[in-house]
Structure 1
Amino acid sequence: MASGKEALRRARSEFAKTMFKASGANDPRIERAFELVPREAFLPPGPWLITSDGGGYVETPSADPIHLYRNVLVALKVDKRINTGEPALHAAWLGAVAPRPGERVSHIGIGLGYYTAMLSVLTLPNGRVSAFEIEEDLAERARHNLEPFDGVKVVHADATRTELPASDIIYVCAGVVAPPLAWLRALQPGGRLIFPWRPRETIGLTLMVRAGPAGFAVEALMPSWFIPCVGATHEIAAVRPPRSREEAETVCSLWPLAVRPPDQSAVAVYPDLWFSKTPLDG
């Protein structure tokens, strides 16, 4: 019979293989990151509250971290519904943004830093991760958790009101009605912005924005549901939101209003920018 340590090692190994498959990528470093970064190191002490099929929480049978190596959300702040993100979703996001060695990442809404640690691992060597968390207690604990990881700086701040550093990847873990123009300015040529778009209460959709010489290309990837991003949800009044999820999924490009006014291809229009169903080369 396997010892507790051996059983945990096997569970983490199987978890990592499952997450690698969920990533949809061919980068074996993603599997290694999920195997190397211990999930329990970025959580409060167990037993833990994990999400149930009914949408509530259930407590794990014990404080054995083997219970964490499943595709479940784990509560960080129950009263605010702040959880660690779903591992399979983040595996798919990591596969989509494809972090490379030496890249600069801005991670917004880090919680206790679990996926920040993975972004650090995936940008080694010489990568830098600026990690923003608006909840002061979470930021402080994340700062402690991330001390062993190179190139990570934790910032307690509202990332919608803070100038982001120049970034090859902006990785947003909170629901956004429209990304601030400052995020687009921070995105470097070839950079990728991934965020959960919440243009309506009934629509939750992952968008990938790529910065190119002709503008910002957009791709709708998958459903995603996150708590609202303070400063980028209820504070933004849509001029014209998408009429339906089906329409939202047609987005192909994003335009600051100062660059190009909305036309008949508009899927959604906001005070500073708009989404179009026309590709950049269309």
Structure 2
Amino acid sequence: MNQTPTAAELRNRLVDEMIMTTVTLTPDVEHALRTVSREAFLPGIDLKDAYTDQAVTIKDNPNGPLALSCASVPSVVAMMLVQLDVQPGDNILEIGAGTGYNAALLAELTGGLGSVTSIDIDPDVALHARTMLNRTGYQRVTVIERDGLIGAPENAPYDRMLAAVGLWDVPTAWWDQLRDGGRLVLPLRWRGQTRSVALTRRGDTLVSDDMKLCGFVPIIGQDGERTARLNEDDTVRVHYDEDQVVDADALSVSLRDTPGIETLSEQRIGGEESFDGVWLRATASDDRVCRLEVTSDALKQELIIRPVIPGRSPLLVDGDSLAYLIVRREGTDPDRPFRLGAAAYGPRAVDLAQDLIGHIEAWGNARTSVPRLTITPAKTDAAIAGHVINKPESRLTLTY
């Protein structure tokens, strides 16, 4: 007779699966994950769903497709906690309270002598987090209904700051709240892709030592990304940053009136092998990198050569021409049966495709390499060697 597994059994099973497949856990993070009951922060959710490695929406967004707030994917939560490297006694600020579950994990990590402040702009979300933390015995966590871009200066300086919402820019207000030598982990978005970046403050600079692919609900109040439709049905779109120039009309004409070309690189991948580093590598030297989104309707109508990932593929845009990443099964290598390549449209299709192939080959020569990201306030005059991306409140410098 099969017995229904208990919450503790499901929780431990999920942590075991993380260790085997997705995340290298530190002992303290593993202990916290096995201790805090995720289901207690998700009332009404089926127990098995609470311990599945997936996000759970807790508040829908009436103005868009993305949730207003959600419980993040457990393995991503674990990954970011490892990046944060919380020490006993740390004073921690969390931006984006969510369900309160993450704050409970932080409370476990910092211990009885530490402190955790969690803020959220949405009153319902903040109330939910406060209520769940009280019910589960984490009354000492401070929950504040507050715009996350402001932070919580009343409890600063912080040893650790963790953003559980996606950021497009690093707010100026945060600099005075993180102590020198303190650590900031945030999902940061540039050129259409998001990375969980772990940074240490060194005077007027934040310097990364780790970054991993992720996706998060964007913070309210930052609007630096633009979207342009490339056909009348709005089934092919380009997403780009405000400092980039995209001529949607010219690109639409090229997509409609010029034949697409395909060029393959020498780089082969296996079926489960990650190639997101191509996108990251391109952003460290090329300001033409954007994100292409192609819907299933556009693919069914064969309006465009299929991108490697229809919903989110790296794209180079130059005037009336574009090139994006594709993959093709080719060859007999059973371990790496696929080749990466470029599809391109427009008068400069051939050149642009070759530029993208160059990024693919550069990635292929050092597949696990990641750049160092150095962030300084936008008004700082200090010059740092590397590729610079300017944002209203910060300056990003990427160096391989």
Give the TM bin, normalised by the shorter chain: 0.7 to 0.9
Could you tell me which runs of 5 or more consecutive residues in structure 1 were left unpaired when the two chains were aligned. 47-62
- TM-aligned CA distance change 1:227 to 1:163, over 3 Å: same
Deviation of 1:231 after TM superposition, in Å, equals 2.3
The question of 1:253 aligning with 2:374 is answered: yes
Name 1:272's counterpart in structure 2: 393
Name 1:60's counterpart in structure 2: none
Pairs aligned (count): 257
Deviation of 1:18 after TM superposition, in Å, equals 3.1
Give the aligned residue type for 1:145. Answer: M
The question of 1:153 aligning with 2:142 is answered: yes
- TM-aligned CA distance change 1:264 to 1:37, over 3 Å: closer
- 1:108-127 to structure 2, matched below 5 A, reads 108-127=95-114
Q: Structure 1 residue aligned with 2:178, among 187, 208, 213?
A: 187
Deviation of 1:250 after TM superposition, in Å, equals 3.0
TM-score normalized by the length of structure 2: 0.58
Name 2:208's counterpart in structure 1: 218
TM-score normalized by the length of structure 1: 0.81
- TM-aligned CA distance change 1:163 to 1:37, over 3 Å: closer
Specify the SS of the correspondent of 1:99.
coil
Q: Does structure 1 retain, via aligned residues, the 8 Å contact 2:28–2:109?
A: yes
Name 2:31's counterpart in structure 1: 32
Specify the SS of the correspondent of 1:72.
coil
Segment of structure 1 superposing worse, 214-223 or 67-76: 214-223
Following the alignment from structure 1 to structure 2, what is the Cα–Cα distance between the partners of residues 103 and 150?
A: 17
Name 1:207's counterpart in structure 2: 197
Could you tell me which runs of 5 or more consecutive residues in structure 2 were left unpaired when the two chains were aligned. 227-240, 246-278, 285-369
Q: Does structure 1 retain, via aligned residues, the 8 Å contact 2:184–2:200?
A: yes
Segment of structure 1 superposing worse, 248-257 or 82-91: 248-257
Give the aligned residue type for 1:110. Answer: A
Q: Does structure 1 retain, via aligned residues, the 8 Å contact 2:373–2:398?
A: yes
Give the aligned residue type for 1:157. Answer: R
Larger Rg: 1 or 2?
A: 2
The question of 1:70 aligning with 2:49 is answered: no
Q: Does structure 2 retain, via aligned residues, the 8 Å contact 1:218–1:251?
A: yes
Q: Does structure 1 retain, via aligned residues, the 8 Å contact 2:169–2:392?
A: no
Name 2:15's counterpart in structure 1: 16
Following the alignment from structure 1 to structure 2, what is the Cα–Cα distance between the partners of residues 144 and 184?
A: 30
Deviation of 1:265 after TM superposition, in Å, equals 2.4
Following the alignment from structure 1 to structure 2, what is the Cα–Cα distance between the partners of residues 168 and 90?
A: 19
Q: Does structure 2 retain, via aligned residues, the 8 Å contact 1:75–1:84?
A: yes
Following the alignment from structure 1 to structure 2, what is the Cα–Cα distance between the partners of residues 217 and 155?
A: 28
Q: Does structure 2 retain, via aligned residues, the 8 Å contact 1:20–1:30?
A: no
- TM-aligned CA distance change 1:139 to 1:214, over 3 Å: closer
Give the aligned residue type for 1:256. Answer: P
Seq. identity, %: 25
Name 1:59's counterpart in structure 2: none
Deviation of 1:213 after TM superposition, in Å, equals 4.7
Name 2:163's counterpart in structure 1: 172
Following the alignment from structure 1 to structure 2, what is the Cα–Cα distance between the partners of residues 170 and 219?
A: 15
Give the aligned residue type for 1:29. Answer: D
Measured against aligned partners, the alpha-carbon deviations of 1:217-256 in whole angstroms (never above 9, x if no partner) come to 1245111111211123449985579xx6322563431122
Following the alignment from structure 1 to structure 2, what is the Cα–Cα distance between the partners of residues 110 and 252?
A: 26
Following the alignment from structure 1 to structure 2, what is the Cα–Cα distance between the partners of residues 251 and 191?
A: 18
- TM-aligned CA distance change 1:220 to 1:33, over 3 Å: closer
The question of 1:42 aligning with 2:41 is answered: yes
